[in-house]
């Protein structure tokens, strides 16, 4: 059974993903995943497998947004069922822009992370992304 301390650590894990992705902490980002992590996106055949592909996707996204990519995660629910722990939450990806009032919402949706407790703390083992919009990812 997951404890309150586990739930706090999982909440921090999700927050660290956003922080590392948004501010270019690629080494920190790599520590958040299990070696065999897989990210899948609803309606897309593209998958990111392993830590290197997760980090490369984040770098490409950062480059495309000129360093102004911001992830906002909210409505987090952490559940344990069937021997697995899931963190489910809504997300909003924003391009912060370079000048005031130029920010724009890029995409919204839901994420479902399967997380596992390791000797180094909680890690993301699988991520499933469901977008609210019809999204075509080419990187």
Reported confidence tier of residue 6, pLDDT bands at 50, 70, 90 = very high
Query: If DSSP codes are grouped into helix, strand and coil, which group holds residue 82?
Result: coil
Q: What is the pLDDT of residue 137?
A: 67
pLDDT band at 138 (very low <50, low <70, confident <90, very high): low
Q: How does pLDDT run across 46-103, given as a tens digit for each residue?
A: 899 999 999 999 999 999 999 999 999 999 999 999 999 999 999 999 999 999 999 9
> Which residue matches tokens 């069922």?
81
The fold of 4-131 is Nuclear Transport Factor 2; Chain: A, (3.10.450)
Question: Residue 139: pLDDT above 60?
Answer: no
Could you read off the pLDDT of 8-48 as tens digits, one per residue?
Answer: 999 999 999 999 999 999 999 999 999 999 999 999 988 99
Rounded to the nearest 10 degrees, the angle between the axes of helix 4-22 and helix 50-64 is 50
What's the pLDDT at 14? Answer: 99
Structure tokens at 24: 């270019």
**Whether the predicted model's global pTM rises above the 0.75 cut:** yes
Distances (CA, A) of 111 to 36, 50, 119: 18, 18, 25
What's the pLDDT tens digit per position in 122-131? 999 999 999 9
* 3-class SS of residue 59: helix
pLDDT at site 135:
82
């Amino acid at each position: 059974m997951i404890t309150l301390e586990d739930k706090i650590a999982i909440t921090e894990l999700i927050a660290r993903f956003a922080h590392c992705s948004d501010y270019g902490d690629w080494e920190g980002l790599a520590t958040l995943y299990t070696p065999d992590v897989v990210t899948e996106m609803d309606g897309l055949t593209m998958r990111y497998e392993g830590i290197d592909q997760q980090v490369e996707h984040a770098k490409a996204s950062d480059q495309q947004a000129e360093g102004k990519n911001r992830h906002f995660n909210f409505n987090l629910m952490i559940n344990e069922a069937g021997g697995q722990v899931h963190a489910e939450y809504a997300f909003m990806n924003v391009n912060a822009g370079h000048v005031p009032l130029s920010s724009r919402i890029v995409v919204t949706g839901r994420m479902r992370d399967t997380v596992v407790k390791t000797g180094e703390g909680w890690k993301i083992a699988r991520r499933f992304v469901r977008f609210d919009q019809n999204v075509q990812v080419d990187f």
